[in-house]
Structures are given as C-alpha cells and as structure tokens.
Amino acid sequence: MAPVPIRTVGIIGTGVIGASWAALFLAKGLKVIVTDPAPGAEVKLRKYLQSHCSEVPNSHVSPEACLENLTFVNELDALLGKVDLIQENGPERLDFKRKLFAHLDENTPEHVLIASSSSGLPSSEFVTDCKKNPARILIGHPFNPPHLVPLVEVVPHPATGSEYVDAACQFYKSLDKEPVLVKQETPGFIANRLQAAVCAEAYSLISRGVVSAEDLDKTMTSGLGLRWALTGPIMTNTLGGGANFSHFMDHLGPALQGWLGDMEKHKFDFSPQQVDSVKDKVNDWVSQLDLKEIEANRDEALGKFVEDQQH
C-alpha cells in the first residue's frame, strides 16, 4: 500500500533524541503527537521545546507558535490511528523494541511509515514479531541533536519496501534533513563506523603521548574536520589529487598504506591500561573547562552554519 503525504508525526519517547525530533517537526510546521511514560515527561518536553525550537535552522514557525501543534498523550494507543509516520525513540533494548514494534505494526493502518531512531539495533532484529506490514518499518537514525544536524541514516531491513524507503527519504528531505541510504544493515551504520575509526586512532595517539588531547581536537577543528564539513573525505581526496581521485590514489595511496601499517602496530586495544591512560589525559584537560558553555556555543554556531549552508 502506498504511503500518504505526512502531515502528522507520532513520536514515541521524548528523551534526548525524541525531544529534539519534536523541535524539528514542529518548527517545520507539522502536527506532532508524542507519548512517554516517564513521570514529568510532558513538562520536561515543553520546557525543552520552549528553549530549543528557536534554534532549528530555517524554521517555518515562530518560536512563540512552536508548541501550538503539539499534543501529548499518556497512552501510546491514543496516537496510533492519528499519525502518518511514527518516529520511535524509546530505550535501546532489543526486547523493548521487538514488543513495541509488534504492537505498532498490529495497531496502525498498513500505510503508516514506522522509523526507529536506533543507533545500534538493526530493524531486522526487532521486526521479527510483526505480522501485518513489516515492509513499512526501517531505521531513520539521526545524528545528535536531530534538530540541528542534517544527517539521517535511512537503513531498511531486507524486507522493507522500496516505496517506503523512498517515502522516508523524501519526508526527511522535505524537512531540510540530509538522508543517506545505508544499503546493507551494518553495525554502527556509516557515521558511527567512521567516527569509531577516527576515535580509535585519536585514543592511540593520546595514550602514547604523541599529542595532547587538546591538540588532537585542534587538529580536527582547525583542519581536518573544518574541511570535511564542506567536502567529505572522498571529494577532499579528489581535490587533493588535482581534481583527480585516480591521481590521488596512485600517488598518495602507498603513503597511506604505510601509515595504516604503523597504526595497526600501535592499535588502541581497549585494555584497562590503555583506557585509563587516555581517560586520565582527557580528564586532566576537560576538567578545567566549562562544558555547558562549550556545548551551547557549539550548538549556536552549528545552527548558524547549517542555516547558511541551506541557503
């Protein structure tokens, strides 16, 4: 059955990720119905939205009007017949998601798209008890915080229908998100695998004393990462090869291979000694800093940068 235009979104779970999705959906003019059984969840969400709606890049709605289309329901079943898409953000536990998705599948009309924000569990593992239409279930994995960072990794399971994959990508694009299709279920999807590769080498360099934690971060924020925000690693290689990726590979490939060989020799092994060493070095640095302020400054700059990129 073909998916329909998405005007009303259901959000399950309003923790870190669900609340941020709510800010985005509301700021883009959608109706949002949310549920979360935690005591005080509604008050906490409203407070969050009051201070974060205004940060959404290219918002369609004034911050004062942002909560107008928000409905909080105490029972999950109260939203199931009323939404065109569900974005699920409950706890990251297989038993929880398996039971929840069987219930969602059973109790929502067949065309309703159901996306899970899960960062680790592949949906093939939690659609096992869905009998009605598991083809409309997929992962829509955001990067924190979803109301600021455009990336969403769309990860179908082997039985997800391509029409639902297309509908999910179109929906996220309509909100100025940047969906990336992950064609095979792979632990960590794409972004977290890349992050793991870079971080493992960072931990190794810091624990070996090759560079301080502060300077490691500076290498990224003043060089590598700054450029990567504009041209990704592959385009950066292509430009570095004089607008010729083959040239880059032929001329710098062997050097890269040599560095990788050395990295393999000094691989961070997550042994207690190595972990303690990197913890000590990082904590010595960050314990002197005002982390709340750093986060707020980052998010403000991030919102402005994204808004600028989208113009």
Ligand X SMILES: *[C@@H]1O[C@H](CO)[C@@H](O)[C@H](O)[C@H]1NC(C)=O
Ligand Y SMILES: NC(=O)c1ccc[n+]([C@@H]2O[C@H](COP(=O)([O-])OP(=O)(O)OC[C@H]3O[C@@H](n4cnc5c(N)ncnc54)[C@H](O)[C@@H]3O)[C@@H](O)[C@H]2O)c1
Q: What residues make contact with ligand Y under the rule CB under 6 A?
A: 12-18, 35-38, 76, 89-92, 117-120, 141-142, 144
- Does residue 19 sit in helix, strand or coil? helix
CB of 247 to ligand X, least distance (A): 4
Which partner from the list ligand Y, ligand X, none does 10 bind, CB cut-off 5 to 8 Å by kind?
Answer: none
Distance CA 156, CA 124 (A): 8
Place of tokens 């590598």: 224
In the complex with ligand Y, the residue whose CB is nearer, 42 or 163, is 42
**Strands 151-156 vs 113-116: parallel, antiparallel or unpaired:** unpaired
In the complex with ligand X, the residue whose CB is nearer, 228 or 245, is 245
Mind telling me the catalytic residues? 153
Note the residues at the interface with ligand X (CB under 6 A): 7, 29, 31, 61, 65, 68-69, 244, 246-247, 250
In the complex with ligand Y, the residue whose CB is nearer, 6 or 76, is 76
Distance CA 9, CA 34 (A): 8
Which partner from the list ligand X, ligand Y, none does 34 bind, CB cut-off 5 to 8 Å by kind?
Answer: none
In the complex with ligand X, the residue whose CB is nearer, 84 or 88, is 84
The CA-atom distances, in angstroms, between 50 and each of 54, 65, 74, 275 are 8, 10, 21, 39
Maximum C-alpha span of the chain: 61
Distance CA 154, CA 174 (A): 15
Cis ω for the linkage preceding 57 (within 30 of 0): no
Residue type, 58: N
Which partner from the list ligand Y, ligand X, none does 31 bind, CB cut-off 5 to 8 Å by kind?
Answer: ligand X
Neighbours of 64 (CB within 10 A): 10
Which partner from the list ligand X, ligand Y, none does 37 bind, CB cut-off 5 to 8 Å by kind?
Answer: ligand Y
